[in-house]
Structure 1
Amino acid sequence: MILGLLLALFAGALVGLQNIFNSKVNEQSGFYATTTLVLGLGFLASLTFGLIFEGTHLFNLQNMKTWYWFSGLLGVGVVICLVQGIKLLGPTYAISLALTTQLVVALLSDSTGLMGLEKVPFTPKQLIGVLVIVGGIFVFKFVGGNEKQQVSSKVS
């Protein structure tokens, strides 16, 4: 369990950093070039590591449902939407919204057994957890918003 927690924390840090890198690439090249670069390099890295660690077993896909193959297309939407979201909202707000939405979709997927997942009962504790996160985003974005204006007016 500890390894799972550490890996999840590490993944979260990587996602946060990747989105900042992606937004910087987007400033120089546009979001289609950013998406191509991000997913292209990801493909090359995945292929290389897959061949090193799994060899020819990497391509053993006979039992996979055909529509699962299209999950990579979702990655295009993820990169484009997050790059544009960061550009319009800033990294912290955009990523916190994206991660909260990810949590809500995961919770709904678990509780409904979507796509063959093991069904996990929905509890009030889970609802409260999501509401606390949404409340945190609300506080972050809308409470104390005058501080930024006060600082900029003092500088003028």
Structure 2
Amino acid sequence: MKYLEDMNVGDHAAFGSYAVTREAVIDFASQYDPQPFHLDDEAAAKTYFGRLSASGWHTCAMTMRMIVDNLTANRHAGLGSPGVDQLRWLKPVYPGDTLRVETVVTEVRPSRTRQDMGSVHSDLTVFNQNDEPVMTMKSVGLVRRRPA
């Protein structure tokens, strides 16, 4: 198990491979972000995107899946997250793209009020298959401390 004490400022991780499909883009948009450029090829062609694109919130959801898969595979003692800061969508994500994630730890802090946990702050970047950044955010994860 990887605990708070095992994490250090500067730690880098690269993980994930998420194939974006047309069906998933339309399905997510139909449920959560039904704007025309996420649902219809002709409407999307007339916009800045130029073609059907994934919702930014869908990009967040795909990223979350890669994060959870990585945490599970590497046995992190994660306890969830109080949120993210500075979320930015830098480039459109299109059907046919393949996404991956890179993170760098920027702060590791034991809790002042809960001796059994702390927080890990990271800069996270999502890249497409051309190594172009498509999304960035500053994330905060809550992590268990090593049991005594």
Question: Would the TM-score normalized by the shorter structure come out above 0.5?
Answer: no
Greater RCO, CA 8 A, separation 6+: 2
Q: Which has the higher strand share?
A: 2
Q: TM-score, normalised by structure 1?
A: 0.28
Q: TM-score, normalised by structure 2?
A: 0.29
